[in-house]
Structure 1
Amino acid sequence: MSAAQEGTFAALRAQLQDAAAAFADGPGALEGILLGIVDDVDRAVREPLEIFPVCHHSPASALAMARRLREKQPKVVYLELCEDMAPLLTELRNCRLPVAVQAFATEVEGFPAEWSPLSVVAPITEASAEYQAIAYALDTPGVELVLVDRSSDHVYQWDARGAEPAEPSGPDTPAAEDEAALHGEAVGVEIGDLRPRFAELEEHLLRHGRVRHWSEWWHQYVELPLGDSDHDTYRQVMLLIGSLFRRLAPGDPGRVRVDEDRERYMWTRMREHLAASGTDPADCLYVCGAFHAASRVAEFGVDGADTFEIAPRTATTWQHGLIPSSHAAIEAQFGLAAGSVSIAATVWAKNVRRTRVEPFRLAGQAGAKKKARTAKSGPAAADPAVPASDRLTGFLQRPPVLDRLDEAELLGWSVEIVRAARRNGYLASTADAIAVFETSILLAGMRDRAKPTPYDFQDAAVTCIEKDAVPGRRDVRRLVEIMMGGDRVGQVGYDALPPLARDVHDRLAPLGLKLQQRGVRRALLDITSRPELEKCSDLLWMLRYLMPHGAARPIMGERRLGERPIQESWDLALGTHQRALIELGYEGVSVEQVLEQRLRRTAYGPQATTAVVLEAVEDATLHLRGRRLADELGTRALDVLATERSVDGAPEVLRRVRRLLAYYRTSEPVLPPWIESFVKTGYAHYCTLLPTAFTDEDATVRQVAAMLGFLFSMEGLALSLGCDRTQLELAVAQSHPEESAKTALLWAAQTQLGGLSRAELRARCDALLGNSMVVPAYPRYLSGFLHALEPVPALADFVVEAVSNAFARLPDPVLLPWLPTLIGTLRAGGAELAPLLIREAGRIFPARLEALDSWVPPWRVQPDPGAVRSGWRGSAGRGVPLLASHPATCDAMARLLGCDGGWEAAEPGPRGAALVHAHPGTATALGALLARP
């Protein structure tokens, strides 16, 4: 170290040596830490390339940055921000701050698949030093802005914890969880991560500073003192704080490695740019966090070692864009106190008015009242070539500045918070305003403050107004945050949106709504009178499928296969969910393309089942309307079905195949080849699995019933395609269930196939009711019969009969304990089939109560064979004249039945009567059938 270097902070070094000897009882570790901090500051101050340390979202840093840029007018600004985000910064002028620059990747290569999607965000507010640097560089001719921090790809390469970001905890956790979702699960990148990583140090600072959290400590002891300081004092104090926190940080090897690698990366990039451009380091400004400004790596400085090799990026394709941010989202992501960013914005606006420093603002910046004047390019202003003198000693020895109490400001706050409290249901009065005013001053005095801070005022308002209850949706603490500026939410302008998002707004323009604004907008679509709105309806249904719940919510109207919309009503909140819409733009250039990619990804995923693929087929048909993708995904469903060995998805497969078949039969001239193959393959597939499913304990009754429903309902089409019914009969014959519900289901299947008559099925049920050992299990048999209505709906009358017989025959001591089990079983196992059962019961039972006494159940009515036979005799001669009077109908029926022969002359006497007399058994059975209601 040269003599000049030793002389700059010689007095401060001597004082720190004496302090270390006094407090530590002799030189040692404390002396090394204190003197090392001074060495870090001295090293950074003497660097030829000026280092400007900042703290993220600090009004003091932003004000010092604006002042320094106008004084120095650097030609190159190096900024600590991911280097791959540079192309997006010019789009900030089309946005309303705060917004965040985002790097996003859905398809990852070189990273674990479970990390997907990858997201890195860097939030930017107007009260931040980095925005001042960006605005100056972009709007000043001849100035170059160079981002030198690691790329988004390296963020995940170096820090595996990026896949699982830690959630903030403790007193700094914000309450606005809904706005915190604006950043999602993204990894945050910030300039100026200036917070103690030594928990005991932070606790010590909070306790002796008489504050509740770190944001309040920073506001009181750093933000306010540095607000009016000169450039050299500001820079040395920030370097001192950064070095202190760095040297007292716990020795986490992973965290230390990442921090040092970032510093090596940035200095390597800056030296590369200086060598390539030939720029004088004196004409440059390096903006970085104070924590990284006080660096001790060998690569530090323009004369540092070139020993760091930057690893290549992975093959992951990154998409970049701007997403809306908010004060609450920034506080949640970076562990700041609730309301601290809003208070910082208020302090920034007040400092600008007080100091008359003209901040930089991008030309045409959304939300700006007027265009800010930018600095002219040219040679740098007078900037001393020699190092700045020691300003730390004077700053550290200076007593706290006792600001005069701004009574008008505090009184205005007190009146405004009482007014806001009354609007939100609190019984506040003028006395409460006076109490808040006096309590704020009292709390500031107890905390050794001459002037109450916004945090003192917040505590006073809670104490004097909230008392013991919160009558409304917001508590007093939240009302103070809103009064201090609220949770300002940014917006990405139309020109800065990706092509997909702009296309969405263009296609929804016929609705005549301001969809870029936050909040819910009601859209009414009368498609009958305005057919052009049908395209808007199609787009809205696709957005409902792709975006989070609430972005596009239908109030009236639905979309079904084969139906066209008539009138619809929607609640749209695209402005509130702007981040989700922007991220859709990372996946494609149109909504249709993104939807097709999502459906393919779902259908071809490793966990895709037949039901999932059929759902994708239905969604493709419903939203994209074309046959190309639906046929492709249908073929995929056929392949997945052939490899499945379980019946878990059988109910969903049955429901979707029925729906698709109904749609194709009504809207297409022929069935698609894939669905014919699906029915044929499914018939053989479920016949093979049926015996195993009946005995498998993991297979539920509903799943087995769905298999039978597929086999019975698709039987006609399957047989026409070449399937053999014998396969189904053998599968049923080989099934031997042990569970009661499955046994009843098997009986129903045998009845449908003709292997079991109604009389035999009725006899088996009667035997169950007559066996006292089986009666407790009878509800499970009824559950099986209820599920049997899916494959055999014709059994609805028999199920009504079975339930009625149970209520009629069982005594109350048996029926009453048995009844809750029956109701629970029917509700849990067949709620969707209950309406069919209720309709059948309403058809069978009398409609009026007085008719119930004389009512006889139809299953107890026995037909009289003699009456049937006499009835046939009375009408025997009517058939021949009827056939003779309509010969064409008779000929058509004969050809259909394959009968040969012609008409003969009618013989005397009714031949029909003779036929009935010749076959009395057939006549009796036919009469009984016709006598049924």
Structure 2
Amino acid sequence: MSGTDGRTLTSGADEGTFTGLRTQLQEAAQTFADGPDALEGILLGIVDDVDRAVREPLEIFPVCHHSPASALAMARRLREKQPKVVYLELCEDMAPLLTELRNCKLPVAVQAFASEVDGFPAEWSPLSVVAPITEASAEYQAIAYALDTPGVELVLVDRSSDHVFQWDARAEHSEGPADPDAPAAEEEAALHGDAVGVEIGDLRPRFAELEEHLLRHGRVRHWSEWWHQYVELPLGDSDHDTYRQVMLLIGSLFRRLAPGDPHRVRVDEDRERYMWTRMREHLTATGTDPADCLYVCGAFHAASPVEEFGVHGSGTFEISPRSATKWQHGLIPSSHAAIEAQFGLAAGSVSIAETVWAKNVRRTRVEPYRLAGQAGAKKSKAKKKTAAAPVQEVAPSDKLTGFLRRPPVLDRLDEAELLGWSVEIVRATRRNGYLASTADAIAVFETSILLAGMRDRAKPTPYDFQDAAVTCIEKDTVPGRRDVRRLVEIMMGGDRIGQVGYDALPPLARDVHDRLAPLNLKLQQRGVQRALLDIASQPELGQCSDVLWMLRYLMPQGAARPIMGERTLDERPIQESWDLALGTHQRALIELGYEGVSIEQVLEQRLRRTAYGPQATAATVLQAVEDATLYLRSRRLADELGTRALEVLSAERSVDGAPEVLRRVRRLLAYYRTSEPLLPPWIESFVKTGYAHYCTLLPTAFTDEDATVRQVAAMLGFLFSMESLALSLGCDRTQLELAVAQSHPEDPSKTALLWAAQTQLGYLSRADLRARCDELLGNPLVVPAYPRYLSGFVHALEPVPGLTDFVVEAVSNAFGRLPDPVLLPWLPTLISTLRSGGADLAPLLIREAGRIFPGRLAALDEWVPPWRARPEPLSVRPARRADVGPGAALLAAHPATCDAVATLLGCDGTWETADPGPQGAALLGRHPDTAVALEALLAVR
């Protein structure tokens, strides 16, 4: 058959290509199985799958993700074949991002992100799909070849990111398991978060018994070690035909032995139908000869039984339209540990693969493809592609039979390499606190060889060396943060972390870097950097301060952490100190770019989302108002969110957020009163509505078991502290009086809180309140509950701070009157109650106690509490007009004023009508000091 460029392909593939292998497998099935049907069907089916894929006119190149052997074979094949079109198994909507890989340091991940969903369940938001790419991967070789070779087209043919979740939604409705090619990330995959992973070449057995059998007979611990020993090493030096047929064989084997889960089978087959449909559409539209194309896909999908398989397959598969969800695309940093955690690989396996890749490149002298200008690579001039002579390509022959019958190749022991590993691990362990020596290096060297021999290996693998190092150096305790196993992983390459270059960042991330440029820091560098802002001497740094505070609000903890300085309402910063780790949290910064073009826009969107969300409460909306004022200094947004807070408060039927509402309203009122000539209309309406709202809920809250004493105290605090403003806006105080009168609590703490409210309203005098407390202490049945009464009095300091001295008196009386057998049992209850419920009010009590109690211990014996001290009665002689000063006549002329002063002083006096002098003189006689003071005051005026 002739190609378009003059190349000829000899048709040598016929039914006899794998005849010998079929015959041997059929005989083996009859020998080892009870009947030839089941085993023969599997074995011969595998050969049929390989034969079908090999005979396909469009060359299929099966790969395994992050496999050095696949990457090496890919680089070698690309240089031999020079295809004009490369079809790659990757989400088709990620194609525009691949050109930005040259601005990044691998490993990175291509990401599709959607914060707002349309067509999917709301609880799925945000949606994220990532496809990590490393240098030691076949797909990176294909991408680099296609992007840097003129005239080559790269076509992504896998399902789109939207279809990934469409098929997940389909599984949700069918109650089937999730897509195996899209597992969720583990906690340690922090760089990938909970994104769905898309990988090329998922070649892990889905049959647990098969994997267990392979690990047991291969004398290895985990799947990564088995793959390294029995696939990577044998295929590292194989030719192209052998590599293809072996990978197709493995993919077909794992596919046929996979559990017959209907959903998983359907997902796999739909992906293959999708990809072949896209490839045939492209071939038809462009007229490209299939012989000039290369299809790169996972070995699991290369041997496919679907009818749409091949360029001559049926075209009956219909691709569903995408949903209305708007997807954002970008590059995020990845790491070896994130890839291992996301795709279930053993720790350190990706780092070992990178090491094997570099070694294979040096050994085979194969020139790999690398994007020009990436990670410090030298810029190379584009080589002009010359017309190649016609190449005679012969259809591949049967290479499987020889490969399967060939005994394992025993690699010669590389003593220099193993000795270098042994010396390096001893040096690393000594730096980390281990007492290792040269003898340990010799022991690790010899033990590695011993372990390899026990496992039928002539050459120790990195995994054998790791086991030997742990055996010879690891002790009972780990002196540092890292154990020996982790040190070996670091020595083999470590957890390499990628980085997205400045040019590949979204506009928001670039804007952040530009606005923080005056700090003169390397913001893309990983690790923590200290930034010092002297805003007083350099006012231009104030803008950097604004950016840092917004980043602290939007990004994860640790990305921007203030060391010195704070952002409060109506205060301007003078000096600040920050610890910045934007390079470490680069992914979070990039994902902010999916939400807007500036951090101000993203912050405003998030505040609105919080305020208008279904779970919004008055407290959370008020917090959004405060944040809008604090970080954005936007009066427009604050007024809009304040109006929303008023709506939410009117609709609330619980008092759960009352403490937070009180705290934030007080703070906003203080800010507006000092910075604005008039209060905003929304906060006046909020105070007016809140006054009526809490008056309505107060009787119910006193009796509701779910309402805590702190919440009820916050309601009273709002009513008492906002009373003057509310009354000036038209509220009626009768509402509060009726609400208190209708409250009948049963809980001791709420009862004490009600007494405090009655005292504030004037319904209960201090003497009556003191008498009730004395009655509680005198009743043995009530004494165990006295700490709860004290808790109520402590919370009463929020609405009635004037009771601070009384609370100190109540506590002191309890300690003074109760005997130790009664006091000690409920003392822990008192302390825990005060700590949990009144920690923020304790400073008031401490200050008041410090004012009342004596400052020295010696004075305590003679000290008399002020609430027990009684004034000594004075001997009053009848007042004569000659003894009465000039002010007496004035007081007698205004008896109402005299009565008011007497009430203020707490004196009970009666007017003596028999005395011919002015009325009130007897009272003045009883209190001569007061009369003299008043006389002096009137004389001054």
1:199-214 alignment to 2 at 5 Å? 199-214=208-223
Q: In the alignment, which residue of structure 1 is the partner of 2:505?
A: 497
* Structure 2 residue identity aligned to 1:147: L
Look up the SS of the partner of 2:663 in the other structure: helix
TM superposition shift of 1:400: 1.1
2:220 aligned with 1:191, yes or no? no
Pairs within 5 Å for 1:374-385? 376-377=384-385, 383-384=391-392
Instruction: Tell whether 2:915 aligns with 1:917.
Output: no
SS of the equivalent of 1:473 reads coil
Contact 1:869 1:923 in 2 (8 A): no
Give the whole-Å Cα distance in 1 for the aligned partners of 2:467 and 2:159: 41
Which of 224, 227, 243 is matched with 1:234 structurally?
243
TM-score, normalised with respect to structure 1: 0.92
Q: Is the 8 A contact 1:440 1:460 kept in 2?
A: yes
Task: Describe the shift of the 1:467–1:859 C-alpha distance in structure 2 as closer, same or farther (beyond 3 A).
Answer: closer
Counterpart check, 1:667 vs 2:675: yes
Residue in 1 that maps onto 2:801: 793
1:725 aligns with 2:733: yes
Partner of 1:516: 524
Correspondence 1:474 to 2:474: no
- In the alignment, the residues of structure 2 paired with residue 733 and residue 929 of structure 1 have an alpha-carbon distance, to the nearest angstrom, of 41
**1:723-778 deviation line (CA, Å, top 9, x unaligned):** 01111111111111111111111111111111111111111112222222222222
Task: Work out the CA distance in 2 between the residues paired with 1:926 and 1:713.
Answer: 34
The answer to whether the Cα contact below 8 Å between 2:119 and 2:325 also exists between their aligned partners in 1 is yes
Q: Which residue of 2 aligns with 1:888?
A: none
* Equivalence for 1:121: 130
Q: 1:489/1:530 Cα in 2 relative to 1: closer, same or farther (>3 Å)?
A: same
Mapping for residues 517-916 of structure 1, pairs under 5 Å: 517-863=525-871, 866=874, 876-877=885-886, 914=918, 916=920
The 1-side partners of 2:491 and 2:125 are apart by: 39
Q: Equivalents in 2 of 1:860, 1:740: separation in Å?
A: 26
Aligned to 1:910: none
Answer whether contact 1:173 1:335 (CA < 8 A) is retained.
no
TM-score (norm 2): 0.91
Partner of residue 939, structure 2: none
RMSD: 2.7
Separation in structure 2 between the aligned mates of residue 702 and residue 173 of structure 1, nearest angstrom: 42
Tell me which of 49, 60, 69 is aligned to 2:69.
Answer: 60
The separation in 2 between residues aligned to 1:630 and 1:771, in whole angstroms, is 54
For 1:721 and 1:334, locate their aligned partners in 2 and report how far apart those are by CA, in whole Å: 64
Amino acid at match of 1:555: I
Alignment counterpart, residue 23 of structure 1, candidates 32, 47, 51: 32
Q: Distance in 2 between matches of 1:771 and 1:16?
A: 96
Change (3 A) 1:20 1:129: same
3-state SS of 1:159 partner: helix
In the alignment, is the contact (CA less than 8 A) between 1:73 and 1:377 conserved in 2?
Answer: no
Instruction: Assess, with a 3 A threshold, how the Cα gap between structure 1 residues 505 and 875 changes in structure 2: closer, same or farther.
Output: farther
In 1, the alpha carbon distance for the partners of 2:923 and 2:851 equals 34
Q: Deviations over 1:841-884 (max 9, x none)?
A: 111111122222222221223235748999999895479999xx
Distance in 1 (alpha carbons) for counterparts of 2:195 and 2:632: 32
Equivalent AA in structure 2 for residue 917 of structure 1? A
AA partner of residue 397 (structure 2): S
8 Å CA contact retained: 1:556, 1:570: yes
In structure 2, relative to structure 1, the CA distance for the partners of 1:875 and 1:30 (3 Å cut) is farther
Counterpart for residue 152 of structure 2:
143
Counterpart of 2:281 in structure 1: which amino acid?
Answer: E
Measured in 2, the distance between the counterparts of 1:731 and 1:758 equals 21
After TM superposition, give the deviation of residue 253 of structure 1 in Å: 0.6
Equivalent residue letter for 1:541 = W
* Cα pair distance change 1:534/1:607, threshold 3 Å: same
What is the one-letter code of the residue matched to 2:482? R
Name the CA shift for 1:693/1:572 in 2 (closer, same or farther; >3 Å): same
Contact 1:138 1:362 in 2 (8 A): yes
Long gaps (5+) in structure 2:
1-10, 892-896, 898-916, 935-941
**Is contact 1:73-1:381 (8 Å) kept?**
no
Q: Distance in 1 between matches of 2:138 and 2:739?
A: 76
Q: Which 10-residue stretch deviates more, 848-857 or 649-658?
A: 848-857
Do 1:686 and 1:707's aligned partners in 2 also have CA atoms closer than 8 Å?
yes
Among 258, 261, 264, the residue aligned to 2:267: 258
Check conservation: 2:75, 2:369, Cα contact below 8 A: yes
1:887 corresponding residue in structure 2: none
Paired with 2:30 and 2:576, the residues of 1 have a C-alpha distance of 80
Pair 1:154–1:532, CA change in 2 (3 A): same
Q: Deviations over 1:131-175 (max 9, x none)?
A: 00000000111110000000000011112499999899xxx999x
1:417 equivalenced with 2:397 (yes/no) = no
Partner of 1:391 in structure 2? 399
**Is the alpha carbon distance of 1:61 and 1:684 closer, same or farther for their aligned partners in structure 2, counting shifts above 3 Å?**
same
Q: What letter is aligned with 1:105?
A: A
- Give the Cα separation in 1 of the matches to 2:315 and 2:654: 61
- Correspondence for 2:470 among 447, 457, 462: 462
When residues 921 and 466 of structure 1 are mapped into structure 2, their CA distance, relative to the original with a 3 A threshold, is: farther
CA distance in 2, matches of 1:650, 1:226: 69
Q: Answer yes or no: is 1:132 the counterpart of 2:149.
A: no
Contact 2:530–2:580 (Cα < 8 Å) also in 1: yes
- Which stretch of the first structure deviates more once superposed, 821-830 or 373-382? 373-382
- 1:343 is aligned to 352
The answer (yes or no) to whether the contact 2:559–2:582 under 8 Å persists in 1 is yes
Equivalent residue in structure 2 for 1:281, among 286, 290, 309: 290
Aligned pair in 2 of structure 1 residues 320, 644: CA closer, same or farther (>3 Å)? same
Matched position secondary structure for 1:565: coil
Write the distance in 1 (CA, Å) between the matches of 2:538 and 2:880: 63
Deviations 1:204-223 (A, max 9, x none): 11111111111111111110
Superposed CA offset, 1:425-450 (max 9, x none): 11111111111111111111111111
8 Å CA contact 1:136, 1:374 repeated in 2 = no
C-alpha spacing 1:766/1:184, structure 2 compared with 1 (3 Å) = same
Alignment check: 8 A CA contact 2:531 2:577 kept: yes
Match of 2:6 in 1: none
Offset of residue 468 of structure 1: 2.5
Alignment partner of 1:41 out of 50, 53, 60? 50
Between 871-880 and 101-110, the greater mean CA deviation after superposition? 871-880
Instruction: Give the C-alpha shift of residue 371 in structure 1.
Output: 4.0
Note the C-alpha offset of 1:250.
0.8
Once the 2 structures are TM-superposed, how far is the Cα of residue 373 of structure 1 from its aligned partner? 7.3
How far did residue 6 of structure 1 move?
1.1
Residue 558 and residue 325 in structure 1: after superposition, are their counterparts in 2 closer, same or farther (change >3 A)? same
Percent same amino acid among aligned pairs?
A: 86
Quote the offset at 1:98 in angstroms: 0.2
Distance 1:922 1:286 in 2: 111
Contact kept, 8 Å, 1:79 with 1:288, in 2: the verdict is yes
- The correspondence of residues 298-337 of structure 1 with structure 2, limited to 5 A, is 298-337=307-346
- Aligned counterparts of 1:624 and 1:868: Cα–Cα separation in 2: 70
State the SS of the aligned residue for 1:530: coil
CA distance in 1, matches of 2:880, 2:61: 111
Number of aligned residue pairs: give it.
894
> Is residue 434 of structure 2 the alignment partner of residue 430 of structure 1?
no
CA positional deviation for 1:453: 0.7
Match of 1:451? 459
Contact 2:171 2:263 in 1 (8 A): no
Corresponding letter in the other structure for 2:307: A
Moved more, 359-368 or 716-725: 359-368
